[in-house]
Amino acid sequence: MQRQDRAPRLAAYYELTKPKIWYLLVFTALGGVVVASNIHGIAVTPLTWGLVLGSVAAGSAAANTLTNYHDRDIDAIMERTKKRPIPSGRVSPAGARNFGLALAGISMALAFAISADTTAEQGAWAAAFIAFGLANNVLVYSYGLKRRSRSNIILGGLCGGSPPMIGWVAVTTADLWTAGLAMAGLVFVWIPMHIWALALHFREDYGRVGVPMLTAVQSERASARAIAASTVAMVLFSAAPLLITSGGEPVAGETYLWTAAASGALMAGLSAWVIARPAERSSWTLFKFSSPYLAVLFIALMVDTAL
């Protein structure tokens, strides 16, 4: 009987980590490893692979768990979130808090351990990026800005750039603040459009709990313009890898160029639809396409640098 009860309990804790979010973040870390390895010709050992992906998975899951713990009061009110593990009673608040803190500790330990297979500097940088991501997401965004500022997701979204930086620094510190930062920037500029499109779709939910997400407190038309502007900024920034060089050679080539151009045109078209018809359907469609868009950019970079 105990075994039968354990499975739903474990599933609830797994759900608490918001796996759809950390899957994508782990993928961007993978992209950082592959691109850095391809550009600099550095082989990555299975141990380093495991430490990078494990630390990013645990760190992202920790951040999601701790923000779920903090937001449990409003999650119980919002239609979109009231069935989450804490408000539904499947996980206790104390259990969620302790689980999140344990995951945070594990992620830091795994990041530091990267030094065992690389250098002490690389392990220290990886741990620093984990710590920054946790602090930015949990303290700055969830505790500090989410319920106070309509631009909360801008400063609160800096943490999204940590996974590719961790992946990069696990391979090398060379070009970390050029090519590595460009990959981190792709995630950072993607976040506002992604979250604002979601908030426009669920604007009544956000209004019900008083969270001043930009596209939930402005008019639909003003919100649509903000989403379109952030989409244009994202598409323009996607050219960054084409402008950065490593060893005198461009980081990205034709494969990435045409992929970024085609996918960027699609996203721009969808944002134009949101402006023309600022409603739940158009914003939800843009939101659903945004995650594959980011993944496609990273895949194109990985393929391009391997050729």
pLDDT means per 10 residues in the chain (307 residues)?
A: 66 95 96 96 96 98 97 94 95 97 98 95 97 97 94 92 97 96 96 91 89 88 90 94 87 94 94 82 88 96 93
135 in Cβ contact with 162 (< 8 Å): no
The dihedral sign for the CA sequence 40, 174, 116, 56? negative
Token pair belonging to 263: 């996918």
Q: What is the pLDDT of residue 4?
A: 55
Q: If we measure between CA atoms, which residue out of 200, 303, 178, 215 comes closest to residue 253?
A: 303
DSSP letter for 44, please. -
How many other CB atoms are there within 10 angstroms of residue 179's CB atom? 26
Specify the length of the chain in residues.
Answer: 307
Q: What is the pLDDT of residue 239?
A: 95
Strand partners, 275: none
CA distance 202 to 25: 23
CA distance 30 to 25: 9
CA distance 32 to 291: 17
Taking the model in full, what pTM does it have?
A: 0.94
15 in Cβ contact with 84 (< 8 Å): yes
Token pair belonging to 307: 């050729």
DSSP letter for 245, please. E
Q: If we measure between CA atoms, which residue out of 164, 187, 197, 269 comes closest to residue 234?
A: 187
